[in-house]
Structure formats: C-alpha cells, structure tokens
Structure 1
C-alpha cells in the first residue's frame, strides 16, 4: 500500500465513526477504533501508529509476536488478541497482550490468569458471545454468561471489561441492530453487579454503524484500513 494511504484510510474510518456517533447522540471519544492488523506486516502497523492509531487487533499468535518484537520501540501501543485461543497459546498471550476479546470458556480464563506476569497490570478480558447461535463460531450463549462472568470476575490477574460478538451477516440495518441490542442489554444487566464492565467489542466494516447505534465501545476494522488480506503468506 503506498505511503500515507493507511493514514488516509484511518482518517476516513474515524470520520465515519464521528458521523455515526453524531447520528445516535454518542460521544465519539466513547468509541475506540481497533485496527485489525492480522496478516499485515509490521511496517503497515508502524505507518498506522504514525497516523495516531494505538490499538491493534491480532488473530495469529506467532505472527503477532514477531511483529511485536519488531515494533518494541512503540511503547504506547496496545495489543488486542481477538482470535480463537488454544490452551498451548495462553502463556504467550498472557505475557504479550493488554487485551483479549475472545475468552469463551473457564479453562482459558484460568490459564490466562495463572500465566499473567505479576509485574503487569491485570489482563483486560472480553467474553465472546455466540449471539447468532452459529455452530461454526466460538462463544458462549447469553444463558451461560452470568455464571462465567461471576467466576472470571474473581480471578485477580484478569479484569473483566465486557462482551464481544460477531453476529451472522444480516441483510438490513435493522436486522444488524437486533443482535447488538441483545448484547447491549446483557452488558447493562451485568453492569448492575459489575460496574467496571464498560466494553462492547462489536462492529466491523459492514455493520459498524449498527453497532455504534447499539452502544459499541470498540469497533474492529481491518480491510478498510490496511486493504485486502493475503492469507497465502501467513505462517
């Protein structure tokens, strides 16, 4: 991607966020742009950082660790793990990320807690909800949420921040809003018990406006910033 094109794309996405927030009476500062940088080189992340972007989402652990090493001079960068988590990956995730959006079972949460280094702040956690009940997707049901939230909230090296979901594609704006509204309602119910839960990680390029309308605090945007992905080069 040519020089400065990433910066221009970030500006466009931020403008879209501001427009959506204005339409739905939201403060644009309440929505964080998470640049999904999976499969993209460290140079592209650095260019985005130079354009003011600080939060980056990664799905593939080894690829991400290599990029983090190259970009270790960017000490204010925030790394978010947003992909499926295998048990043998939890130690490195606990050591090298500030956020994990994809916790969907107690075993993974316990391992992240036990393996989070004591010298680091608690790891910010979002529970992944399979809001559309798709067999192909990870995540717990809304019925399972209260019990898991209660247990994870007691783990000292984790900070339970909120919920994440990737709904099934919908063919209208109102249909996009429905699962996000259900997720927002679930978060509000949990906030009565856990006031520190403040995060809805919902909304990607195709449904960002609907997510912001329903209270999203983190939108996960990749292609609109970095361009199309080439999965053939991924390790």
Structure 2
C-alpha cells in the first residue's frame, strides 16, 4: 500500500517548486501543470496522489497503465497520459484507454491510433515528441520536421494536436540546455501560429523543471519526487 501522507507531502512540495519557478519566470502558476508519472507504482499510489488533488497521470508502459485505469475507474475525472514508446500492436490499447498520447513521432502509429479511436470517444489529444538534442538513442522527430508532421496529423479527425513533448539530453551543459530549450520553445510558438488549439509544451522533469518553465513549458513530468524511488 502507498504511504498516502508521504505522497501528499511530496506533491505539495513539487507544487510549491513549480509555483516558485513560475514566479521567477514572471508566469502565472496556473499556466504550468504537473504530470505525475506513476510508472512501476501501484494504483494505490495514484489514488493517494489523486486524493491530494492531482488529476493528470503519466504512464510509460501500456499494459501497466491499462491495468491501473481499470482499477481506478471510479475516479471519473482522472486524466491519463501515455508518455512512453508505443509499438504498433499496442496502439488499440492506447486508443481505447488513454486521453492523451504524448510520445507520437511516427505517422504509422498516428494512423493506427486514429483508426482505432472509437467515434463515441473524444479525440485523442496528442503531442509530437521532438528529439531536441538529436540523440541517436532517443525517439522523436527533428525540429525541422515538425511542420510537415503536424500537417499530416491534421488530416486525422480522431486525433487532436495539442503541442510538443521532449526529453532533453541528461548530460547537456547549461549552454547546450539553454540552446535546446530555446529552439523547442520557438518551434512551439511557430506551431501555435498555424494550429490555434496547440497549448501544451511538455518539457521538464524533476531535475530541470526550472529552466523548462523559464522557456515556456506548460507541463512538467514528475515521478520519483512525488512517488519515491521506482522499482527495478
């Protein structure tokens, strides 16, 4: 069972941290949402965070996420985001169960999600994953390919493009980080000029949420700092 008090305390601390970062960036605190990343954690931990006021939750593994969604079906206003790599044979599970898909970077996957999303569901909200540091080991499209990819997504009626997501290089210098974050922020602003519904820049985690917020992030993904160390 999850330690509900510890999770509530940790969540409140991260909320204060986000608020302080927003103040330093001269932004309204409500302009940045926390996505609580609950991978490897039990449904009881998600319920504890929910009871402490958290509503957006991110899952990296399809089946684990689907199992938690089923177990927590009584929490009607919880919002589930899929944030991990997605194989073709798992797209229907995401299309059926999640409200958001944050790691979209292949047209084949986008088409499958569109075709498998039922007509009685709201469109799947999607973010395009961008490989902002051009790391060979990471998923994501190049910044220069965003416009073309977005145009193709616009042809898929059961998907709604909401913005961009990125996982920055872990070992980047401050100068490299600033350059990457600035480039992504500019790409996000450019995307907004063509798609008025675009409002979400998912950038920043526990170790870099302050510079991410400084560069316009509207959603920070926090896991360990809320739920504690992950299971192996």
Q: TM-score range by the shorter chain?
A: over 0.9
Structure 2 distance, partners of 1:101, 1:40, is: 20
Checking the alignment, whether the CA contact within 8 Å between 2:7 and 2:226 is kept in structure 1 is yes
Checking the alignment, whether the CA contact within 8 Å between 1:162 and 1:197 is kept in structure 2 is yes
The alignment partner of 1:192 has SS state of helix
**Structure 2: runs of 5+ lacking an equivalent:** none
Q: How does 1:130-141 map to 2 (within 5 A)?
A: 130-141=131-142
Q: How does 1:1-235 map to 2 (within 5 A)?
A: 2-170=3-171, 172-231=173-232
Structure 1 distance, partners of 2:177, 2:81, is: 24
Deviates more, 1:170-179 or 1:205-214: 170-179
Structure 1 distance, partners of 2:172, 2:10, is: 25
- CA separation of 1:100/1:146 partners in 2, compared to 1, >3 Å: closer, same or farther? same
Checking the alignment, whether the CA contact within 8 Å between 1:169 and 1:176 is kept in structure 2 is no
Structure 2 distance, partners of 1:169, 1:229, is: 18
The alignment partner of 2:143 has SS state of coil
* Superposition deviation, residue 181 in structure 1: 1.2
The aligned length equals 231
Structure 1 distance, partners of 2:140, 2:173, is: 24
* Superposition deviation, residue 108 in structure 1: 0.5
What is the TM-score of this pair, normalised by structure 2? Answer: 0.97
**Can you list the C-alpha shifts for 1:51-89, whole angstroms capped at 9, x where unaligned?**
000000001111111111111100000000000010001
**Can you list the C-alpha shifts for 1:26-72, whole angstroms capped at 9, x where unaligned?**
11111010000000000000000000000000011111111111111
* Superposition deviation, residue 193 in structure 1: 1.1
Checking the alignment, whether the CA contact within 8 Å between 2:117 and 2:123 is kept in structure 1 is yes
